[in-house]
Amino acid sequence: MYRFRLLLFTKTAGIKYQKAHNITPQSGYVGALTRAVLNLGTTGVSTGTGATLIQNLQSQLNALLAQIAALKAISTATTSVSH
């Protein structure tokens, strides 16, 4: 029973990973395409594509943080006006 649960968990995790990385088919099995995407995660991020991806993600994060700050400011202004 333990082995079955482990296999089911592993397959479910595989499917989630494949969905998150737009890999089709999303079967939960690690084939050549899934392995290739997995291997991308094992390369260094100090140069090339990895560093570019991190910079892009950081830019997106900064933009989201700015939006949150703006929404908080609006919320605070609205709350102080209504009191």
- Return d(Cα 69, Cα 28) in angstroms, integer: 39
Residue 45 pLDDT: 47
- Helix intervals (H) in the chain: 2-20, 32-40, 48-82
Identity (one letter) of the amino acid at 60?
Q
- CA 18-65-57 angle, 5° bins: 35
pLDDT at 47: 53
In single-letter form, the type of residue at position 71 comes to L
**pLDDT averaged per 10 residues, the chain (length 83):** 62 87 86 84 60 86 93 81 62
| Predicted TM-score of the model (pTM) | 0.44
- Residue tagged 């494949």 (tokens): 18
The confidence score (pLDDT) of residue 56 equals 85
Position of tokens 């991308």?
40
